[in-house]
Amino acid sequence: MHNEKSSTIKRMINRSFSPFFTYPLIIACIFFGYTAFKATKEGKLLRIQNVELNNTANEVNTMTELYKKTSKELSESNKKIQGLHKELGEARTKLTELSKSGDVKAGEELKKNFETLKAEFEKFKENKQKETVDKDKKLKELENAKSQKEKETAEKDKKLKEIEDAKKKIEKETVDKDNKLKELEGVKSQKEKETAEKDKKLKELEEAKKKIESELAEAKKQKA
């Protein structure tokens, strides 16, 4: 009786842990663990990319503000140059009028002032031209840097999208694997139930067989 019970238990264990159910289950668990690890790693990379993207955006904003400030300074310099042009024009006109009127002393004094003003203007103009060249050079460098940062930002956006797509794909695959794992567990549970029913039926048949053998033995004994 003990040997028969042990044999029945062994059959149940062998059927429950048959390669048909065990290996796919192990493979599914390994794949689930791998995808979870990969998703965590991708998420960490995604956070790093977000920080870099924010830093790049701040740099671009700083460059834009500097660009606006430089443009404003250039505009103010141009206005000052235009004002000096106007003053020179007025002085030239007045000098011409005095020359025509014959006021030599006043004309000489005005001419002297005009020459001084003209020299100051030329010096100011030269300095501003040099300053403008330097600012144009700096402005060009800023434009190039801004263009490079925008290009890097576009590349990072593209990479970020690829990471998001990869993450979504992994999540979808994980869900699919979970569903498949549930299906396998359902099939395994069904097979275990069927095995238990078959073992129960087998036990009933064995008991019926023993009963018949016992009745036959009793009949032979009575006949003898």
Domain for residue 221, yes or no?
no
Domain for residue 186, yes or no?
yes
Scored b (16 or more CB within 10 A) or e, 64-90 reads eeeeeeeeeebeebeeebeebeeeeee
Domain for residue 216, yes or no?
no
pLDDT at 22: 56
CATH number at residue 113: 1.10.287.1700
Domain for residue 217, yes or no?
no
pLDDT at 1: 47
pLDDT at 13: 47
Residue 141 predicted with pLDDT over 80: yes
Choice between 70 and 124, residue whose per-residue pLDDT is larger: 124
Domain for residue 55, yes or no?
yes
Q: Please tell me the total count of domains within the chain.
A: 1
Domain for residue 223, yes or no?
no
pLDDT at 57: 62
Q: Given its phi and psi angles, is residue 103 left (phi above 0), alpha (psi -120 to 50 degrees) or beta? A: beta
Residue 17 predicted with pLDDT over 50: no
Tens of pLDDT, residues 154-190:
888 888 888 888 888 888 888 888 888 888 888 888 8
Domain for residue 219, yes or no?
no
Q: Which domain holds residue 181?
A: 2-210
What is the average pLDDT score of the chain?
A: 72
